[in-house]
Amino acid sequence: MKPLKGIRVLDFSTLLPGPLATLMLVDAGAEVIKVEKIGGEDLRKSKPFIKGNSLLFSILNRGKKSIEVDLKNEKNREKILKLVKSSDVLVEQFRPGVMKRLGLDWKTLKKINKKLVYCSITGYGQSGPKKLVAGHDINYLAESGLLSLSTDKNGTPILPNTQIADIAGGSYPAFMNIILGLLLAIRKGSGCYLDISMYENMIPLAWLGLAHYTYHKKSPSENSLHLNGGFHRYFIYETSDKKFIALGALEDKFWHRFCEIIRAPNSVVFEKEKPSEIIKKIQIIINSKTGSFWKKKFSKETNVCCTLVEKVENLIKDPHLAEKKLSLKSQLFKKNNTPHINTVIDRKIKEQKKIQKAPLLAEHNYIINKL
């Protein structure tokens, strides 16, 4: 049996942070009812489309139910209140104050369902001078200083390769805290309110920079920390054909094996110079051969921590994933199959037997129509 079987979740969230969190709840067995505004949430309108449906929406909302409702209508609000009575979790992603104006805030709902776990996901939390400020992933990374740590050669911050604040600061903390909230509800017999701030959740992600600031009493300069460009053992080197290898040989045994493979001079092996000088010498060696040459060299190794920088399609073609039956070919390209991707929920927990589809807008309005 799935661990969250029998748990009902009302999901008022949109776009990425909340929907990914509730998708993980789906994989753990929960019933997730997506409460959408008239016309549906904005992600339904996002390209690309497959058979008239947004692929992005489908990926994040498979296995959920959809009700379309005007929350400003008093009759509809009363129906939602009845639905709350039979729910275990509520997830919302509005700015602070919106749910209160709708009469669906924590203080109101806990009176009708004392075991409710109420999760609010926002940029800056429910209190503080920035609580009403609009923002997106890039803004939280910018204000936390994380965006300043990696730059291009001109010193311009590099756009993140994925939505770090949305996922690591929003989706995952929401999921983890909801699970803990449900555990507390079982043990104490009462629910709780969860205030998930994507900006504030950047603090643990900034651990390297904060450690530097604590010690040196100043922020680190760009590309200077040992895990973001300031250390030769943890660096990205360019090959002769404009490809790149990613080196992560932090431990001595990995470093020495790397040096053996590239036939590094003693000055590099024994690190007799500054990291910046060692980087230059390694770069000359790596730049003498192609990416495929180095990939062939390093793919035979198990103790070196050096890999070619691949394209995203590697997640589809990688034989390692195929052998473990995690191939994205069947998930994304199989004929008559709903495109989907796995979450981090272990396969033994989710026990997925049939492919779940994303709901059509208002497909499950019968849930509130009968209330």
Active site residues: 166
User: Which helix (DSSP H) or strand (DSSP E) does residue 268 occupy?
Assistant: helix 266-269
Burial of 321 (0-12, 13-18, 19+ CB in 10 A): middle
Instruction: Please provide the DSSP assignment of 272-312 as one string.
Output: -S-HHHHHHHHHHHHTTS-HHHHHHHHHT-SSS-EEE---T
**Amino acid at residue number 127:** S
Length of the chain: 371
Look at residues 132, 68, 79, 133 and name the one whose alpha carbon lies nearest to residue 103. 79
- Three-state DSSP at 349 gives helix
Chain centre distance of CA 295: 28
Rounded to an integer, what distance in angstroms lies between the CA atom of residue 342 and that of residue 359? 17
Structure tokens, 179: 């699970």
Burial of 6 (0-12, 13-18, 19+ CB in 10 A): exposed
Structure tokens, 275: 């990291």
- Three-state DSSP at 27 gives helix
Q: Are residues 229 and 275 in contact, defined by beta-carbon separation less than 8 angstroms?
A: no
Task: Using alpha carbons, list the distances in angstroms from residue 120 to 90, 91, 92, 93, 345.
Answer: 8, 6, 5, 6, 22
If one counts every other C-beta atom within 10 angstroms of the C-beta of residue 216, the result is 9
